[in-house]
Structure 1
Amino acid sequence: MIILGNVIDEQGRCTHYSKKEDTISIKFKCCGAYYPCYKCHEENSNHKTQPWKQEDFDEKAIFCGVCKKDLTIHQYMNSTNCKHCHTLFNPNCSKHFHIYFETGHNSTCTF
C-alpha cells in the first residue's frame, strides 16, 4: 500500500499525528489515494476533500499500518480497534469524521 503525505514511519504515522495509536490511513473518496490524515491530504494534493457518503460505508477505505489489512468505513467507525490485529485506534480521530465521512451533521464541511 502506498501512503501519501508526510509519513514518518512504516505504520503510517505522519508529521501531524504520531502517537502510538495513529496507525490508520484513509483512502480519500475524492482521489482514491491513501493519506494518514486530512492535513497531509490538504498539503499534498491540489483539490478539496470529498467525504464518503453513508451509502459507501461498506467500502474498504481504511488501512491498518500495523497488520497491513483493510477495513470498511463501518468497521472503523464502529470500533475502537482493528478487527484483524486489535491495535487500538486513536479515539480523537472521531473528531475529524465529518471531514472524511458523511455523518449527518457538518457533512459538507471542508477545511
Structure 2
Amino acid sequence: MSIRGLLVDDQSRCEHWHLPLDVIALRFRCCDEYYACYSCHQQCTNHEVEKYSLENSQSSPLIMCGICKLQMSFEQYRQLECPRCHSPFNPGCKLHYHLYFDP
C-alpha cells in the first residue's frame, strides 16, 4: 500500500508534520488508505473520517513505518520504534490518538 497525503519526502513526512521522527502513516477505516496525517486526509478526500476501534482492531495493521513500510498493529506502534528497522517514532503523536482511533 502506498502512503497518501501532501508528502514532502518518501518517508511519510508531510506539509503538516515533517520533523525527523515524523515517519509513520495511519490507516483510515473510511477509505482503507494510509495517510501521513489527519490533516492530509481532510485535504485530500471528500468524505468524513471513520476511525478504527482499538478494542476491535488489536491485531490489524493500522500504522505503517515510513522508513521500511512495515504495516503494524497499534500495540507494535506504541513501542515508539519500528519492530523491523528500529526507526524511532515521534512520542508526541500520542496527543493526537483521538483523531485516528476510538478507544
Q: Is the TM-score greater than 0.5?
A: yes
Q: What letter matches 2:64 in structure 1?
A: F
Could you tell me which residue of structure 2 aligns to residue 57 of structure 1? 58
* Residues in 1 aligned to 2:101 and 2:47: alpha-carbon distance in whole angstroms: 17
* Residues in 1 aligned to 2:8 and 2:80: alpha-carbon distance in whole angstroms: 23
Query: What RMSD in Å do the two structures reach over aligned CA positions?
Result: 1.1
* Residues in 2 aligned to 1:57 and 1:29: alpha-carbon distance in whole angstroms: 14
Deviation at 1:3, TM superposition (A): 1.4
Could you tell me which residue of structure 2 aligns to residue 5 of structure 1? 5
Q: What letter matches 2:20 in structure 1?
A: K
* Residues in 2 aligned to 1:82 and 1:9: alpha-carbon distance in whole angstroms: 18
- 1:47 is aligned to 2:39: no
* Residues in 2 aligned to 1:38 and 1:74: alpha-carbon distance in whole angstroms: 20
Which segments of structure 1 move beyond 4 Å, counting only runs of 4 or more? Answer: none
* Residues in 2 aligned to 1:86 and 1:34: alpha-carbon distance in whole angstroms: 20
Deviation at 1:61, TM superposition (A): 1.8
Q: What letter matches 1:18 in structure 2?
A: H
* Residues in 2 aligned to 1:38 and 1:30: alpha-carbon distance in whole angstroms: 12
Identity %: 38
Could you tell me which residue of structure 1 aligns to residue 74 of structure 2? 73
Deviation at 1:47, TM superposition (A): 1.2
- Structure 2 residue runs of 5 or longer lacking an equivalent are none
Deviation at 1:79, TM superposition (A): 0.9
> Size of the alignment, in residue pairs?
102
1:77-88 to structure 2, matched below 5 A, reads 78-88=78-88
